[in-house]
């Protein structure tokens, strides 16, 4: 599947008396010794009409489009290209 997202799932048993420590510790310490439970993969495709809508907004309404996303740069650029927000 093209444009697939993958999320890793893990678990760690923490005793209640250790909770305060983990809230103050570094991310690396907190993530140490996590049991890997598996991976979840899912598609997040653009709607079929998205590129046509983007083109119409540019041509008929003369909008200068910007994209705001929380995705990493590679996914953001690929999505913007597929949607027609950027061309190269």
Domain ranges of the chain: 1-45, 46-88
Task: Note if the pTM is more than 0.85.
Answer: no
Higher pLDDT, 67 or 5: 67
Strand 35-43 relative to strand 4-11, pairing: antiparallel
User: What are the residues facing 36 on neighbouring strands?
Assistant: 10
Mean pLDDT of 19-38: 89
46 three-state secondary structure:
coil
Mean pLDDT of 59-63: 86
Q: What is the DSSP letter of 35?
A: E
Which helix (H) or strand (E) covers residue 10, if one does? strand 4-11
Instruction: Provide the percentage of residues in the chain whose pLDDT is more than 90.
Output: 28
Tokens standing for residue 55:
């083109």
- Rounded to a whole number, what is the largest CA-CA distance in the chain? 62
Q: Are 41 and 33 in contact (CB under 8 A)?
A: no
Grade residue 3 by pLDDT with cuts at 50, 70 and 90. low
Q: Are 11 and 37 in contact (CB under 8 A)?
A: yes
Grade residue 76 by pLDDT with cuts at 50, 70 and 90. confident
């Amino acid at each position: 599947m093209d444009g697939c997202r993958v999320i890793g799932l893990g678990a760690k048993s923490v005793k209640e008396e250790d909770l305060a420590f983990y809230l103050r510790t570094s991310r690396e310490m907190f993530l140490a010794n996590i049991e890997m439970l598996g991976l979840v993969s899912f598609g997040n495709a653009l709607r079929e009409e998205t590129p046509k809508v983007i083109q119409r907004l540019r041509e008929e309404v003369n909008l200068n489009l910007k994209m705001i996303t929380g995705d990493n740069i590679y996914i953001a650029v690929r999505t913007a290209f597929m949607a027609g927000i950027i061309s190269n």
